[in-house]
Amino acid sequence: MKADKFGIVANVISDRVLRTGAKVWLDYHNGDAACVRVIGLSKGGRIVHKYTHHKRLETHRAAWIPEHLRERVTWQWGSKDEAQQAADGLREMWAGVRFFHRDGSMLRDGITEGQAFQREAAKRPSTLD
């Protein structure tokens, strides 16, 4: 029997390609900490891989990865606690970040993306002392 693997899932707030409210699997970052590649259901009903911004996602949480997705999802942990820790970090990082709909209306008011990065950096202890 293969060992269980856990990943991070989130729900889509708003996106041009992905369905609103759809559950997506977070796959990996490609150098930009604000954007993540996800696997989810498109508005047309197909499974798609695409990059999206973390502020377009909500309710980050750990979940067991089904066998048929294990080869597609890069971010995997051996225990649910480890995956939940990573999900909690992402949820805290992007909590309360301002987000606009593509038509210009505000979906969520809050801090800017830059302020979110500053808030996260302030949590880490300085190694320059």
pLDDT digit string, tens, across residues 69-123: 889 899 999 999 999 999 999 898 888 888 777 777 777 788 888 888 888 888 8
41-81 pLDDT, tens digit per residue, is 898 989 899 999 888 899 999 999 999 888 989 999 999 99
Ranking 2-11, 31-40, 96-105 by mean pLDDT, the lowest is 96-105
Tell me the C-alpha to C-alpha distance, in Å, between residue 36 and each of 5, 28, 45, 62, 128: 20, 6, 21, 16, 30
What's residue 55's pLDDT?
Answer: 87
Stretch 6-28: mean pLDDT: 92
What's residue 122's pLDDT?
Answer: 85
DSSP conformation letters of 66-110: PGGGTTT----BSSHHHHHHHHHHHHHHHTTB-EE-TTS-EEE--
pLDDT level of residue 2 (50, 70, 90 thresholds): low
What's residue 118's pLDDT?
Answer: 84
126 pLDDT more than 70 = no
1 pLDDT more than 50 = no
